[in-house]
Amino acid sequence: MAPIKTLREIPTLTSLYKLKHLTPAASTVSGASSAYNDRICVIRTDITKLEVDAIVNAANESLLGGGGVDGAIHRAAGSGLLRECEELDGCDTGDAKITDGYELPCKKVIHTVGPIYWRTKKQGKHTSLLQSCYRRSLDLAAENDCKSIAFSALSTGVYGYPSNEAAATAIGEVKKWLDTNDKADKLDRIIFCNFMEKDEHAYYEWLPKYFPPAEDGKDQNKSIESNGDGQKGHDASEEKMVDQIKSELEVEAEDQNKDENKREAVDASKSEESGQVADLPDVPKTEPGEHGLPEAKKLKTDHDQRL
Ligand code: AR6
């Protein structure tokens, strides 16, 4: 079982560039900036293990739980979360609601409902709805005095959003919010928490396009000046953190390789038995409602039109 991770153990883009885990992009988007590299983090882990102020759940409109990350969050939080969710009267696609974290290590859970890709794309609303999920979640975090927020890769599981497109939309909207929102200073850390390799790849591709490395020694907000819990740092502690993250990333990579080898071995033996091609782990293939989860409510077009 993955151990709980504190904010200090979640690498910022600044650290990842230093460690050469993140590679600068060949070309960047217009308006790209390194100004937020000490505030944006990316990590591949179980979001229920993050000791941050808020985690963002990829929920459905009922808010009454489901599979994927939603199921993992409800299981780890305990029944208090479901009881609070029952009082919320659901949530529209593109909107978000906030609850306590109960038995989770985070203080708050923000439940947002991402778009079902194949349905909303037909209506040309997929991008604006996904943008709205990120924006509303950031608004709620800032309004509720959260200083750190970790996003799961909304809509990229059962709801079928392609990882690359979802990562570009998510990163672009977070950057826009940081550039333009008057509450943006309230958030010290915005973490993209991936679970599957395909999503991690997408974020490693898109993050450098929006947040390129600072030119030599010219970080605009020197890393560690605020470490999220109000303590001031200095170069020595920054070096220590980089070393710590480096060894953790190495251990994690080893563990993930072991897990993947184990899974591949199991999948291979299963497929030999059935004569079928092995399934990728955790890739949902069914539409919502077809897999024993609560039926998602019909999309509300009046809300959609407001977005
Ligand atoms: N930690 C972090 N990320 C996770 C975890 C975890 N423990 N488990 C899965 N993910 P999904 P959606 C990733 O399907 O596509 C639910 O049933 C996963 O790899 O959870 O928005 C709801 O109730 C993927 O990248 O959410 C809805 O009915 C991401 O979380 C529906 O699924 C989102 O995958 C929502 O579908």
Domain-wise residue ranges, the chain: 5-219+279-306
Q: Please tell me the distance between residue 70's alpha carbon and the centre of ligand 1 in angstroms.
A: 6
**Which residue from 4, 69, 93, 201 has its CB within 8 A of the most atoms of ligand 1, so it is best to mutate?**
69
Residue range 5-219+279-306 in CATH 3.30.43.10: no
- Shortest-distance Cα residue to atom 28 of ligand 1: 60
Of the candidates 145, 205, 149, 146, which has an alpha carbon nearest to the alpha carbon of residue 174? 149
Candidates 97, 96, 75, 71; CA nearest to 84 is: 97
| CB of 117 sitting under 6 A from ligand 1 | no
The structure's pTM equals 0.80
User: For residue 159, which atom of ligand 1 is closest to its CA?
Assistant: 15
The amino acid at residue 166 is A
165 with 159: CB under 8 angstroms?
A: no
> For ligand 1, is residue 59 a contact (CB within 6 Å)?
yes
Per-residue model confidence (pLDDT) at position 36: 98
Contact assessment for residue 75 and residue 103, using Cβ atoms and an 8 Å cutoff: no
| pLDDT score recorded for residue 226 | 38
Per-residue pLDDT at 162: 98
Measured CA to CA, the distance from residue 57 to residue 151 in angstroms comes to 7
* Run of H or E residues at 99: strand 96-100
C-alpha–C-alpha distance, residues 57 and 68, integer Å:
10
Q: What is the pLDDT of residue 256?
A: 57
| pLDDT per 10-residue tile (average), the chain, 307 residues | 92 97 97 98 98 98 98 98 98 98 98 98 98 98 98 98 98 98 98 98 98 73 38 51 66 57 42 34 35 34 38
Q: Is 115 in the pocket of ligand 1 (CB under 6 A)?
A: no
